[in-house]
Chains A and B, each alone.
Chain A
């Protein structure tokens, strides 16, 4: 597959002195769904905004479909659709007017049938004559998606598409993303939810403090992220781990009250049952038990810590 988005050595330092992007290099293949994962303030929106022409880069280059976003901005931008994170709509316009307006802005000739198809695919057709201000928040977001799709982009950016979105819209959105992917549209979405990346993406990039610290096939990443902890609240504290339990990766907390077992949910077989039997045989009883999944925060901490250790 061809590279549709090529980012090289892209940096951004705002006038305030804030460095939002350290040199970022990233190539996105045509037709893939790429999730950019990172906490707030990591630089996700800055990266997208530079590609779309809203923010000027400090250094580096970006091409979309082979067109440089600053030199051949016309050709590059015509290929891009953007759904920003913030709801921003022309309140007094109708849904129909605002979508046809967007199509025109991006240099496309009027095409009523195409606009209709776009509105129908987002369940907006019945609302086509409604003024945007009369719509609910979820419907407004659908309008913004319609505006981004109505000029037939080849690369679609979804910035935090499901932040504050209800279940139905989320489901519709994923259905739409799949449909677009079948048409060969490349989709780049940002999120801070692992589940979202897990559900949709082919590849995942993790960005933290302006640095792309990891880019990986989703399946590879999910294996790494699949760690869980089983925590047992013991009735009687232990002073040390019994030798009989050494085959499990166990840890005791300082009081000897909590016993923690790390395991991989994706491993062929995990032996929680065996561990619990083992405890039983040793006469170790517990009042409660629960499992914890590694959160994105943990993963960032781990990733950043391991990078610093290597440095």
Chain B
């Protein structure tokens, strides 16, 4: 009765459209800023410094850093987009409507994470296209490249969703990306192969989750990575599962959503 379906596709579509609309309104901030930042990295690391660098694992340095830079942007943007998307209604109070709507937790997550993932994928591909302007590139495993990009975007958008729900203020919202993710990505082999590190630090690096993401993604470009691609894949999937579990728990317990 009353148009109640088993899946509220009108509701999911409404949120998705709303979120994509927000992106379009803030196009400069959402897309242009990361693209410009990444271009700067290419100018500095790729052209200025890269010209004086030897090949890494047989790959010219300028090309070598491309997968890492894309990952860096996708990780941080996934986190900040997804966390902001759910934090904002909490902050302004408009979340009352979401909570009172006939939407299941799955539908809510699907819509928010779906929209954030779309943005991240677009961003990743846009940066790839930008990079192509600076360095010649060939992608060894394009399907795997997209798969890694998608998995990583989904996982970190889910993580961002959790972060946005957890955050009780703007400071907390910035805290994780700034103090945890940025260092991990910089130390995660975006700009170097971890084989270039002293042995002790190589071992330490293996505790950095981002190493596995960057390595797997780089494998899809150049057919080589710091760790075996299977390990990378297992890691991304594992992280995705952990994020799903956290989201499931949030809705089950109503944590920071409902009192």
Residues A101 and B18 in contact in the complex (CB < 8 Å), given A75-B2, A92-B25, A108-B10: yes
Most buried by A among B92, B101, B103: B101
> What is the bound-complex CA distance between A15 and B99, given in angstroms?
19
> What is the bound-complex CA distance between A77 and B100, given in angstroms?
7
Q: How far is the CB of B48 from chain A (nearest CB, A)?
A: 39
B13 cross-chain contacts in A, Cβ below 8 A = 104
Query: How does the 8 Å CB contact mask read for B1-19 relative to A, with 1 for contact and 0 for none?
Result: 1111100101101110110
Q: Is A86 an interface residue (CB 8 A)?
A: yes
Contact B258 A75 (CB under 8 A): no
Number of A residues contacting the other chain (C-beta, 8 Å)? Answer: 39
Q: Is A218 an interface residue (CB 8 A)?
A: no
> What is the bound-complex CA distance between A105 and B98, given in angstroms?
8
Q: Is A89 an interface residue (CB 8 A)?
A: yes
Contact A106 B259 (CB under 8 A): no
Residues A88 and B93 in contact in the complex (CB < 8 Å), given A74-B102, A105-B15: yes
Q: Using C-beta atoms within 8 Å of the partner chain, give the interface range for chain B.
A: 20 to 34
**A97 CB contact (under 8 Å) in B1, B21, B97:** B21
**B101 CB contact (under 8 Å) in A77, A79, A97:** A77
> What is the bound-complex CA distance between A101 and B98, given in angstroms?
11
A301 cross-chain contacts in B, Cβ below 8 A = none
Q: Is A53 an interface residue (CB 8 A)?
A: yes
Q: Is B254 an interface residue (CB 8 A)?
A: yes
Contact B94 A89 (CB under 8 A): yes
Q: Of all chain B residues, which has the CB nearest A147? A: B97
A84 cross-chain contacts in B, Cβ below 8 A = 93, 96
Q: How far is the CB of B216 from chain A (nearest CB, A)?
A: 37
A-B contact list, 8 entries, CB within 8 Å: A15-B259, A56-B254, A65-B2, A74-B4, A100-B14, A103-B14, A107-B4, A107-B10
